[in-house]
Amino acid sequence: MSPVNPSTSNSSDEKLTRPRVLLVEPDLEMLATTTLLLSKSNYIVAPAGSYREIFGLRSEIGFRLAVLSDALGELALRAATKFIRGQWPFARVLILGNAQAALEDHLYDEAVSHRFQPKEFLDTLARLSEDSWSLKSRLLGFRPRPSRCSEEQ
C-alpha cells in the first residue's frame, strides 16, 4: 500500500514537516480506522496489513514513527521490529498491545493498550516524534517508559 496523504497539496515543504508513520496492523478494520485517525491528525501514513508488506517499503525514507500491533504474533513482531531498527534506525517504535513478552527493550520505545483513547494515542505519537530521549535511552540500554495509555490494559 502507498502512503495515505489526505491533503491535496503537493508542497515538498509540507511533506518534510508532516511526520511519516509506518502503521502495521493485521486487523483490516483497525488498520483503516487508525490510518484515518492519523491522516486527519496531519501524519503521512504508510499502512501495512502484515510484516511482509514492510519489506516492500524498503525504498521509503523518513519514517519518524512505526506503530505495530502485537496481533502480528510474536515471531512477526520480532522480525518487523528488527527490520525497522535496521532500515530506519531513527524511527521510534510504538507497540499496540503487549511487547514485553515478545521483544527485548531495545526493539521498541513504548507500548500502549489496544484500548487507547484517540487523544492520548495522538499525544504519545507527538511526544515520540519529537522526543530524542527515546533514542538516547535505547542506545544507552535504559528500559522504555510506560505510557499513560498502557495503564488501561
In this predicted structure, what is the pLDDT of residue 8? 42
Instruction: Compute and round to an integer the Cα radius of gyration of the chain.
Output: 14
pLDDT greater than 80 at residue 136: no
Residue 113 above 60 pLDDT?
Answer: yes
Can you give the residue ranges of every domain in the chain?
12-152
Q: State residue 60's pLDDT score.
A: 86
pLDDT for 17 = 72
The per-residue DSSP string of 64-89 comes to: EEEEEEGGG-HHHHHHHHHHHHHHST
pLDDT at 138: 53
Correct CATH for 12-152 of 3.40.50.2300, 3.40.50.1820, 1.20.1290.10, 1.20.1260.60: 3.40.50.2300
Identify the band that residue 102 occupies on the pLDDT scale cut at 50, 70 and 90: confident
Higher pLDDT, 14 or 39: 39
Query: Average per-residue pLDDT in the chain?
Result: 82
pTM of the model: 0.76
As to burial, measured by CB atoms within 10 angstroms (0-12 exposed, 13-18 middle, 19+ buried), residue 135 is middle
Give the pLDDT score at 149: 52
Q: Among residues 11, 21, 3, which one has the least CA distance to residue 124?
A: 21
